[in-house]
A and B are shown apart, each in its own frame.
Chain A
Amino acid sequence: MPLYIGGIGLIIKAENLSYTYAEGGPFEIGALHGVSLTIGKGELVGVIGHTGSGKSTLVQHFNGLLKPTAGSVTVCGVDTSAKRADLKAVRQKVGLVFQYPEHQLFEETVRRDIAFAPQNLGLSPTEIDARVREAAALTGLPEALLDQSPFALSGGQKRRAAIAGVLAMKPEVLVLDEPTAGLDPRGREEILAQIKALHRETDITVILVSHGMEDIANTVGRVFVMNQGTIAMEGAPLAVYSRYEQLEQMGLTAPQVTRLMKTLCGVDVCTVKQAKEYLLGVLRRA
């Protein structure tokens, strides 16, 4: 568990953050209401919530794409709503991978696509090359694919290439908005394993946004549940998922094994493996 108590090693802090789209206009709509949270340096956290719960709006504050209507967000020591806030620095430190990031691939080769951001940072060709290789390795893209057109890749590979393009900026924080959407089960597992490996091998902070409760259960250390623009729950996946009746009222579905084990034995689990181990203990004793 990273130290973030009392502000040590804290990387993101939101205080009473509220955000209203089209404020003052006829289509004014409140998306966030008084959200306060802290994320420690090096943490791997999940944000879940159904469509419209405010999770995407929240993470867009983490790299200054949106500024709070009220309250404040501090990212890597920069208060994003301050008058002369250096948002450029924030955006270099916080890489945001949008939904369906492969739609943003555009270059002729994977190599040039990944190199696009470092090139714009004005880095030397050797440094750019090193970053491209490193980013490709971190996302599990084989070297052999680097000279192919990004459009010739499979769905899962395209997504890795797009994530590599963000990693080439060497961000301190990586925010992934629904990184597994639309992938088949194998592609999904591969991407999640790669995210876990990336987190293990570097000191990067990762924020994973998803409505796939199973994905989150197996991946993150701490989870925030968003509902109607507020944080409804926060804690370890096990503790949060055990309140599955409440989750269901928020339009989220707890994993099958969580529901089964709660009704069957009154215990909290969030993965098949945990359920299996518990049941083996009980049934073997019988």
Chain B
Amino acid sequence: MITTERLQFKYSEEREEEALRDVSVTIQDGEFVAVLGHNGSGKSTFAKHLNAILLPVGGTVYVDGIDTKDERRLYDIRQAVGMVFQNPDNQIVATVVEEDVAFAPENLGVPSAEIRKVVDWALETVGMGGYKRHAPHLLSGGQKQRVAIAGVLAMKPRCIVLDEPTAMLDPIGRREVVATLRRLNKEEGMTIVLITHNMDEAVSADRVVVMSGGGVVLDDTPRKVFADVARIKALGLDVPQVTELMYELRREGLDVPTEILTVDEAYQALKCRCISGVSG
């Protein structure tokens, strides 16, 4: 779906530091990839290369085999890869939910019967079918962000890149958005690239790419990535509490598994030992 080859980027000629250096990542069709990194790690800069908002200073980005530097193919690239940003308020343009979602297909000149269908489908898919006639400014943050996602879905992209879509949401809003992304990935086969610094969200991805200093430092399943607790913490990131707990117990010399991500897994791993410990 997307390939970057030795991607390099600088924000200005004068500034020496590179925002991205030699980033080579391949994202397969249908993958759910989380890109994790602290502020300034280059993760948002990377995201903006995935639908040609930014163009590489060095190296190449291919979307569906198209070089993003090819200006004539810009619409094809943007059609294939949709982008959702951090603040839902900056992305909603209309005063009625369904009109907002219809904005893109209207501009593409899609026939109105077709628009009706695509808007209904997009809103149903994000679980906002009951809010078609609502005013966006009266929705909660999580609902607004889901409307923003529906607006991108109405373009029928094959991949959605989301740049910290939950940073401004409360825990409930976060859960709604992440559940929506999982469903899009599993049921619609949509490729999802989720940029985040929240480890809870990265845990729900199939693969985690960790960025630091403009480069990729780890690229593996969430289980493998988070098991490296010392490394993740040194990068200014967090791991799930249970992962940290198991790591700490192991450091104290206890033979416990470390590739643990959820409360249930930790419970299963510690259950027998604790019960025998208490009774003994």
Residues of A within 8 A of B (CB): 50-52, 154-156, 181-187, 211, 214, 251-253, 255-257, 259-260, 263-265, 272, 275-276, 279-280, 282-286
Contact = CB atoms under 8 A, between A and B. Distances in A.
A285 B170 contact: no
B273 interface: yes
B274 A282 contact: yes
A272 B245 contact: yes
Given A184-B197, A260-B267, A279-B270, A50 B172 contact: yes
Nearest to A49: B170
Contacts of B271: 264
Given A186-B236, A260-B242, A279-B249, A154 B267 contact: no
B108 interface: no
B241 A257 contact: yes
A286 B273 contact: yes
Given A253-B171, A257-B242, A283 B38 contact: no
Interface string B226-265: 0000000000111011101100110010100000001100
Interface of B is mostly: helix
A51 B167 CA distance: 14
Nearest to A263: B267
Size range of the chain B interface in the assembly: 35 or more
B222 interface: no
B26 interface: no
B28 interface: no
Contacts of B170: 50-51, 211
Contacts, number: 99
A286 B280 CA distance: 6
A214 B274 contact: no
Contacts of A256: 240-242, 262-263, 266
Interface of B: 38-40, 86, 140-141, 167-168, 170-173, 197, 199, 236-238, 240-242, 244-245, 248-249, 252, 254, 262-263, 266-267, 270-271, 273-274, 276-278, 280
29 contacts: A50-B170, A51-B141, A52-B140, A154-B39, A155-B39, A156-B39, A181-B168, A184-B39, A184-B236, A185-B38, A185-B199, A185-B236, A185-B238, A211-B171, A251-B171, A251-B172, A255-B241, A256-B266, A260-B266, A263-B263, A264-B271, A276-B245, A276-B252, A282-B277, A283-B254, A283-B273, A285-B277, A285-B280, A286-B277
B245 to A, nearest CB: 5
A42 B240 CA distance: 33
A182 B168 contact: yes
Contacts of A52: 140
Contacts of A156: 39
Contacts of B172: 50-51, 251
A276 B249 contact: yes
A247 to B, nearest CB: 11
A52 B280 CA distance: 48
Contacts of B266: 256, 260, 264
